[in-house]
Structure 1
Amino acid sequence: MSDEPGVGAAEGRNTLRKRVLRGIAVQTAVVAAAVHLLWAWPRLGSPPDARPYLFVAGSALAVAVGVATLRAGEYRRLYALGAGTLGTFLGGFLAWHGADAAAALSADPLAIVAAVVELVGIAAFLALFRLAPPTSVVVERRGADGSDDNEDEAAEAREEGTA
């Protein structure tokens, strides 16, 4: 939201700060997903370890959140989901390795990249969460603007008007 007069919902979503934060959040979600897929892909055939399968599912969720962050409105729940997904990756690493987490982190360059990217991504998603209006306000604005993204209804209305 902006305090400037005449600034609507679209301009509020597209302020420079929010665009930069959205870009950082999306990039970190995609990089975290890629890092986890790089680790998981060669290990998918080892049945006693469930982590590769969880990493594939978590990576798909991280990419979906990234895409939705780019395309959707300012939904706090979406930003919370992004921070939570990246936080789960980081928390899972710490829980899996326990007291040896620092040693495991220093021994694996991929883990270092993942941890740094996840920390930055969590910060970006939480900043977006903090800057976004409540979800009810966003939904109300969409209804008031008539900017419902349902293209089928809009196409039907155009056809009825031109028929």
Structure 2
Amino acid sequence: MSADTEPGGADPSRGEGTAGRDTARKRLLQWVAVQATVVAAAVHLLWAWPRLGSPPDARPYLFVAGSALAVTVAVATLRAGEYRRLYALGAGTLGTFLGGFLVWHGTGAAAALAAEPLAVVAAIVEVVGFAGYLALFRLAPPTSVVVDRRREEEPDPEDRTP
């Protein structure tokens, strides 16, 4: 057994034998990332819903679409395997919300935060969720390893006898 392999002969660089490693930490991070994402989506919907009829401002429509994407990613995070691409999408969605706020308000972002309590809540949960998804991304094995594991777990339809 080389220094790079785990006691069971698994090679951690290839993602083997990591199914049970850091399970409690991963579940906690999933919970934090999902909760932060759902709260961020709810805050954006609370802000956008009363403003949907104002045609010159596209933000309410973008917030509704972004919130739908964020909730979809949160649900997929709970139901799917450890997919790095999914975690990157979650971090990217929350990062886009946060970055969009900073770009929209520019140098007046601090004043906008002070004037809008919902913006403060959104910014906090977006940072927390972004950090959670990034941590999950770092802990997850490469997507190809997860896909291979799922293929190994599925029964082969040709092996079934009638």
Structure 1 residue matching 2:53: 3-state secondary structure? coil
Mean Cα displacement is larger for which, 14-23 or 53-62? 14-23
1:82 to 90, 94, 101: 90
Task: Provide the residue aligned with 1:111 in structure 2.
Answer: 119
Task: Provide the residue aligned with 2:80 in structure 1.
Answer: 72
Task: Provide the residue aligned with 2:107 in structure 1.
Answer: 99
Task: Provide the residue aligned with 2:13 in structure 1.
Answer: none
Task: Provide the residue aligned with 1:54 in structure 2.
Answer: 62
Gaps of 5+ in 1: none
Task: Provide the residue aligned with 2:45 in structure 1.
Answer: 37
Query: How far is 1:145 from its partner?
Result: 2.0
CA distance in 2, matches of 1:64, 1:147: 28
Amino acid at match of 1:11: G
1:11 to 3, 15, 20: 20
CA distance in 2, matches of 1:66, 1:4: 34
Count of aligned positions: 151
- TM-score with structure 1 length normalisation? 0.85
Amino acid at match of 2:53: G
- TM-score with structure 2 length normalisation? 0.85
Q: Structure 1 138/112 Cα, relative in aligned 2: closer, same or farther at 3 Å?
A: same
Gaps of 5+ in 2: 1-5, 11-15
Task: Provide the residue aligned with 2:148 in structure 1.
Answer: 140
Once the two structures are aligned, what percentage of the paired residues are identical?
Answer: 73
CA distance in 2, matches of 1:72, 1:138: 10
Residues 9 and 141 in structure 1, CA contact (< 8 A), matched pair in contact too: no
Residues 34 and 59 in structure 1, CA contact (< 8 A), matched pair in contact too: yes
> Once superposed, what is the RMSD of the aligned Cα atoms?
2.3
CA distance in 1, matches of 2:57, 2:155: 47
Query: How far is 1:11 from its partner?
Result: 3.2
Amino acid at match of 2:20: E
Query: How far is 1:139 from its partner?
Result: 0.4
Query: How far is 1:146 from its partner?
Result: 1.8
CA distance in 2, matches of 1:147, 1:42: 50
